[in-house]
Structure 1
Amino acid sequence: MNKLVINNFEEFEQYVGKELGVSDYMQITQEQINKFADATFDHQWIHVDVEKAKAESPYKSTISHGYLNLSILPYLWNQIIEVNNVKMLVNYGIEKLRFNQAVLVGNEVRLRAKLLSLVNLRGIAKAEIKVSLEIKDCKKTALDATVIFLYHFM
């Protein structure tokens, strides 16, 4: 996969309204889910109790936390794009976040990103990016959102 390389605001601006790319697939493991549960104190059985989930869950499997799915976006985003000549990147916000489909343990997910807008705020680039976390072999996405980053170009 070829990463999109951006070196300045003007180059970035050329991609407004266009898809920026798609990451590689990443498999969600029970170990990741358990570690996330420990980190967030969210040990709900649907996530961590494999046997109970097999017996009682409508999914017949444990599922990833919605916020775990959200938390891997930066990792997958970095597979899509490399923005150079930046002294600082700030996560500014998330809008229109929807969790659409459960991600079962063992599922593979990838990120698809489109640049909705790019605004120059006195030298700081405010980028609004539509992201979708796709589940391999599933029609519905795990989540959709508009993420907002502030790129402080040098």
Structure 2
Amino acid sequence: MPVTIPFDGLPALVGTELGVSSWFEVGQQRIDTFAEATGDRQWIHVDPQRCARESPFGGPVAHGFLTLSLLPAMLESALAIDGMRMGLNYGLDRVRFPAPLPAGSRVRSRWTLAACDPVDGGVQLTWSVTVEAEGGGKPVCAASFLVRAFA
């Protein structure tokens, strides 16, 4: 269940972890579908037999961009902003993939509001987001996610 935050209360919450997403499964079927959609069919993602023989990870791993593509759904599962009429993905800053994401893993994200800056008609929210795999030691992704929010 997402945490609900009032739109006009966002500036006071800068520096606060505001939510944790639901768990999302990243199975081989999702990885294969992403590979087909993007044309990125590198064997470390889509060839379980070769991965078992040659990969240092022991099996297929998800694309980094697949992990990033889950951010909007993870944000929606973690937080709801009361009074927000529309939100737009404005981009990403400093994206890192500190650990591989093995096929079949479950991931969730932690959302900290790093900045809330006024823009014409709304605010630009800078989210510090960390994506973790269940049972993993290191995050599989860490990024600054920029969202333009309009009341």
TM-score band (shorter)?
Answer: over 0.9
Once the two structures are superposed, the pairs formed by residues 71-86 of structure 1 within 5 Å of their partners are: 71-86=69-84
Is the aligned partner of 1:88 residue 2:117? no
Shift of 1:101: 0.8
Q: Normalization by structure 1: what TM-score?
A: 0.93
Correspondence for 1:5: 4
Question: Share of identical aligned residues, percent?
Answer: 31
TM-score, normalised on structure 2? 0.95
Structure 2 CA distance for aligned equivalents of residues 59 and 93 of structure 1: 30
Q: Trace 1:1-154 onto structure 2 (pairs within 5 A).
A: 2-8=1-7, 10-153=8-151
3-state SS of paired residue (2:85): strand
CA–CA separation in structure 2 for the residues paired with 1:127 and 1:151: 7
Counterpart AA for 1:36? F
Gap runs ≥5 in structure 1: none
Say how many residue pairs are matched: 151
Q: Deviations over 1:84-124 (max 9, x none)?
A: 33332111110011111110011111000100111122431
Separation of aligned partners in 1, 2:119 and 2:71: 24
Could you tell me which amino acid in structure 2 is paired with residue 98 of structure 1? Answer: R
Segments of 5+ residues of structure 2 without an aligned counterpart are: none
Query: Is the alpha carbon distance of 1:70 and 1:32 closer, same or farther for their aligned partners in structure 2, counting shifts above 3 Å?
Result: same
CA RMSD across the alignment: 1.2
After TM superposition, give the deviation of residue 70 of structure 1 in Å: 0.6
